[in-house]
Every structure is written in structure tokens, then in C-alpha cells.
Structure 1
Amino acid sequence: MAESQIDRLITQMSRLPGLGPRSARRAVLSLLRDPQGRLLTLARAMEETARSVKTCSACGNLDTCDPCHICADPHRDRELVCVVENVSDLWALERAAVHRGIYLVLGGTLSALSGIGPENLNTEPLLGRIQEGQVREVILALGATVEGATTMHWLQEKLRPSGVMVSQVAQGVPVGGALDLLDDGTLAAALGARRPA
């Protein structure tokens, strides 16, 4: 029996992060209850975005313009660059409104198992800006994983000769976190990064 159009839509929706088959069915059912108002509006927005989305040549962000809205913002501190692994990390920092500089999206982290080496990372825009004397500080905001730590170490070594200040985000106990619920690695990072009270 051939798959119906609705089943195909559910299958496509279930491929999205955070949506399994049951969540996808609920989402599709909600859209189908108002096909003109919800489904077609969503379909048009998706089609327009698919046609206009671009990767920012300055930082690697996804936006509908190049340079992206962040890089084009004249109120940003252009000498302060926050390096993140992927666009979702950039969007998380923007949502929290904690960084007023610009970004660089690496597009991954170093991983011998996955075959990702330094040549696969988006570092050229950052290195070019540093070479031109346009960067005061680089903040490394990478995940607390083996790959993230390896990438941070590699970047620190790569940037050391430039004389640019390199910092990294603190890692350890989250706000509201209880010590007895944290894993050993988080506890070790928290104790290792302690500071005077």
C-alpha cells in the first residue's frame, strides 16, 4: 500500500530534532486542523526561508543576508569574538543576551574518529581579522567534551603567537545545580576552575 501524503508529512516531521513519530503525528494533526491558516502559512515560510537562507561569510551564522544581522550590527564590539562549535550555540548565546561582540562558528570540533581535522574548521575569517589587528579578545565557548577540549587547546596554540587575549567560558556547577546530581567530570571542572570568594 502506498504511503499517503499525510504519512509522508509525518515521516518528514519525525526527522526533525526532538520530534519522534508520535510527536510528529500530533504536530501534523494540529496543522491539518487549520490547513489554510497553519499548514500553508508554515509551508510558505519554509519555502521562502529555504530560498533565502545564506551562510554568513564573516562568521558562519545562518541568516537571510550576508553578512548576517549580528555581523552587520554597528553596535557590536567587533574586537571581541566568541568562537562556538555550531549555529545552535550562537543562537543560544544570543537568546541569553550575554555576548555583545561578534561570533565565529567553527562548524564542528576536531575529531580523529570522525575525520575532522583543522582544515575542516571555519577558522580563516578569525585568523584574517586577527592578522589585520581587528581582534582584542577571542572567547572560546566550546562544549565540555574531549573534542571541545582538544579544539580549544589547538586554537589556543594557534592564536598564541598573535598576542591576542584568549579566554574560555567557565565550566562547572550550573546555576541551581545540586552537587550530588552532577557527574564526576563536571565536579572536577568546577573544582579546578574555583576562584576566591
Structure 2
Amino acid sequence: MKFKILILSILISNFIYSQSVKDSLLQKDIVDLVEEMEFMYGYDQILREYIIFKTFDKSETDRIENLPDSLRTEEMTKRRFKSDSIGKLIWKNYINPKDAEHTERMIEITKKYGFPSLNRIKKYYHEEFADPEFNPYILLVHAPKKYWEELKILMKSELDSGVISKCTYGHLLWHITGRKSFQPMLDNGYEMVVKNGKTTLKSTCN
């Protein structure tokens, strides 16, 4: 029994030390990392918005998104590409390849620093983000299928280390299992809630 307790103590000490090292590295490199991830996030979002709104003007896309449903649908319909081939070309040549690059880079960052959640970033980075909606997590949500298995293992480790919440893990797991069922979320911090006759998913995480 004493031997088992000793082994457990060593494992806990190693875990605490490892996480402390990652936190120190994150603090040291935070400015460079944020600027790099802001670029990746900006690229990710602006190309996807262009597919829908056919403009790179963020103020214009925000304006359309804030329209009432009927007017927004009408505006988006008017802005559709006349040829489906253009949208497919953008996905093939500009979005999908970068999704792969961004995923690989986020995996590298996570292995070295721990996953850079907004909460961890804000501990060491006190400036305004270039985009108020910036969130590195989105880069993993858009990970190509070939990275899903690696991400399941990596992010489970981040969950076990306390770096990400159960809800973050569950939400990502839902995405990287093909969004076929809400079970990954229900198993990880979410619950079904019925309100006013409507059933919705609700996070139980703080």
C-alpha cells in the first residue's frame, strides 16, 4: 500500500511540474502565440464568411448577420455565387489546405504549451484582441477528419490535466465524431433541458 501511495505521489508531482513548465512557456511566448493564432483565426473566419457573404468587409458581414431572419436570408440569397464551381474552388484551394495547416500547428502548440484556451491566454495577455470574437478553439473545430483520432487523444489528456473543461471536450468531441449524435456532449457536461416546449442543450460547466 505504501509503495502504491509513493508511486501516486510521484505521478502527481510529475504532473504538477509538467503543467507548471507549460504555463511558464506559455507566459514567455504569449505575445508571439497570440499574434500567430489571431492570424490563423482571422484567415479561417474571413474565408468562410466570404463563401457566404461574398465580401471581406467585416462591418458588412456583421451588418447582414444582425438583420432580421427574413432580411438576412434575402440578402444572403442575393450574394450567392452564380457558379457553384467558385465556392468549390475556394474550399479546395484556400480553406481545406489551411485548415490542415492550422490544425497541425494547433496540435504542436497544445503539446508544447497545453491547449491555449481563452482563460489561459488572458492570464498572461492583457491587450485587446484584434478580433473581439477571437477564440483558438475554433481552429480545432474546423480540423480535417484525418486529425480527429489524434485530437481525441490529445484533448482527452488536456481534459485530464484540467487545462480544458468537460464541456469544451464534449463539444469538440461532438465535432470530431461527425456531429452524428449529441451523446458526446451529454456524456461530457451538457444536459437536455425542456423550456417552453422546446428542448435545448445546456452546459453545466462554469
Q: Would you say same fold, with TM above 0.5?
A: no
Normalised by the length of structure 1, the TM-score is 0.28
Normalised by the length of structure 2, the TM-score is 0.27
Bigger strand fraction: 1
Bigger helix fraction: 2
